[in-house]
Structure 1
Amino acid sequence: MGIIELQTYQQIKGKWKGTQYEVVKKLGEGGLGKVYLVKRIKTNQYFALKITKDNISINREYNLINKFKNIEMVINALEIDDLEIENEIYYYICLEYIDGMNLQEYVKRRFLSVDAILGLVLVIVEGLNKIHSLGYVLGDLKLENIMLDKRFKQLRIIDLGGVAKKGEFINEYTPGYDRSKWNCGNRVASESYDLFIVTMIIIRLIIREEFNPRLQNINDIIKKMNSIDISKELKEFLIAGLKEEQQSNFFAKGLRKIYNREKLSKRNNMIEKLDARINVIFLCSVSLLITTTIFILLKL
């Protein structure tokens, strides 16, 4: 049986803890459940309520969120409880509500320069480093699962459904980011699995195109990447991210180095353009001065 569709203004109550919520709207849904924006009736605070029939999955995610509670990038969980509606039992976790948009929506609305893309991804990699240091891999990292918090101007990971311990098999993944689908490695949880995804995200953002492993192969992506105007150093870094085993600390170090060079190059280009404008203004001023001087001399 599927997950029930909750209605706007519908009131629900936790079976064991008794917390009452009012449904505001549906935020999204996936294979295992639905997420609603709700208002806690007692405090008028807004939260994201994730509802499912899968008790094991929801408890696992709740435990992982608590395990990562010191990682600022990971969303907070407030409570877990059962929910009985129409004689059916559902399970939910009440999550911090992030007011903003996910990165998929964000990049559709605006153009990002290469240095802005690398800066954005660096923040994601720093969060991944902390997860990796605890012995876990995010697994199903994608733009839709990363929120840009409008209030605090931060990136937040909102879905931990694909998290796996290092060495375990990854069960939840997105084909377009899965290295196994691209014949670039296995689906065993490792730092390099996450870093392959990060590399694909960078390429996708730079090229502004989605990729499908059923229609393309990894060489098609490399060929397309080689045809665009980015630095040789960045191209080599991205190809290594697709084809080589990587560790997150070294990956982050290399990415930061390229990011700093891209920013410096951009700044130098801006200075050159400014100098060129100043020269044009100077030449126009000189030309005007000469013309005016000649005019005055002819009048004498």
Structure 2
Amino acid sequence: MASGRTPLLRVAPDAVLLADEPLFRGDVRDLLDEVDRRRGTGRTLVTTPNVDQVLVLRNDEAARRAHARADLRTVDGLPIVALARLLGDHTVRRVTGADLLVACSAASAERGWRIVVTGGAPGTAVRAAERLRTQHPGADIQDVPFPDLTGGEDGGMVVERLRAIRPDVVFLCLGSPKQEAWFLRWEDALPDAVYVGAGAAVDFAAGARRRAPVLVQRLGLEWSWRLLQEPRRLAHRYLVRGPAFLLVVARSLLAARERRPDRA
């Protein structure tokens, strides 16, 4: 794991490393192929680090453990992609949990994958599964209610449902780091599947929230769209914590400059 003197993001000869762990390199089709290869081979954890989660990695031990445990780490944040490009890599692409949910739903209809969606407000996963089945006729997409753990309910009931369903891919839409912490807590009891920490993907799929227009996404301004939708919840994340990413950028660029051969 990256030390205080090691930049959070750096480009190695054969990998792009975030906190010393490799990021997935490729687009959503490449990621879908990798998910296909890993189905049924064990418990695969996919994380989708965004700028806020990158900042949390600096001083949160639980977040670092989940980051190190992940099998695949796909970037959800154009600023991270842009920094990788400034460091000389053009293979890292932005692939969000919402993107992967749509792609896996299509794969369910085409290849017979069994998909589970869990998380969100009460009833959200139900609506998400219904809408995805409508959009992808023939898809096997099921919802599993997630209990209110703050009320003392046992998250083990989700494990039992998953073991009965035997899914290929499970979208844990609990928000980070809760979704990763739940996976680590119950990992040994979970059935073999690909588990994706997908945050707000269930809300987008259910129609509870609207994703930013494609142009806004491509300009890297989806954060502003989400801020307008949920100012109370997201203002601190984007307006207070977010600017600290500039320090990550500066340290990463400075470290790369110091490693250049012509400065040896």
Which category describes the TM-score, using the shorter chain as reference length?
A: under 0.3
TM-score normalised over the length of structure 2: 0.26
TM-score normalised over the length of structure 1: 0.24
Q: Which has the larger helix fraction?
A: 2
RCO (CA 8 Å, sep 6+): is it higher in 1 or 2?
2
Q: Which has the larger strand fraction?
A: 1
